[in-house]
Structure 1
Amino acid sequence: MIQHFHFKPLYENKQLPGWFISFFYKQQRYQAEYHKDGSIRFIDASPAEEDLAVVEKMVHELMLFHVYD
């Protein structure tokens, strides 16, 4: 489960889509850029290959709830 999920716009002009996100998953902190097409670019480290699909699904659900709702 993702904990301490935070997001902020990448650009000062909030009309331009793109967000910086950070969260904890399995006691590891991750940072990423979430782009308007739904792609996620992890900064520094990314979750293990076997966890990546699950983490991306949770991030998409959180972004839908917080940003697109």
Structure 2
Amino acid sequence: MIQHFNFKPLFENKQLPGWLISFFYKQQRYQAEYHKDGSIRFIGAKPAEEDLAIVEKMIHELMLFHVYD
């Protein structure tokens, strides 16, 4: 489960979509860019390959809830 999910716009002009996200997963901190097309680009470390699809699904759900609500 993702914990301490945080996001902020990538651009000062908030009309331009794109967000910097950070969160903890399995006691490891991760950072990524979330783009308007739903693509996620991890900055630095990324979750293990077997967890990646699960983490991306959780990120999409959180972004839908927080940003696109």
Both structures adopt the same fold (TM-score exceeding 0.5): yes
Check if 1:35 corresponds to 2:47.
no
Specify every segment of 5 or more residues in structure 1 that has no aligned partner in the other structure, as ranges: none
Q: CA RMSD in A?
A: 0.2
Q: Which amino acid aligns with 2:43?
A: I
Moved runs in structure 1, 4+ residues, more than 6 A?
none
Q: Which amino acid aligns with 1:63?
A: M
Give how far 1:52 is off.
0.1
Alignment-derived partner of residue 6 in structure 2: 6
Give the Cα separation in 2 of the matches to 1:12 and 1:48: 32
Alignment-derived partner of residue 15 in structure 1: 15
Alignment-derived partner of residue 65 in structure 1: 65
Give how far 1:28 is off.
0.2
1:43-62 matched pairs, under 5 angstroms: 43-62=43-62
Give the Cα separation in 2 of the matches to 1:45 and 1:32: 9
Give how far 1:68 is off.
0.1
Alignment-derived partner of residue 26 in structure 1: 26
Determine what percentage of the aligned residue pairs are the same residue: 90
Give the Cα separation in 2 of the matches to 1:44 and 1:65: 25
Give how far 1:13 is off.
0.1
Give the Cα separation in 2 of the matches to 1:25 and 1:59: 11
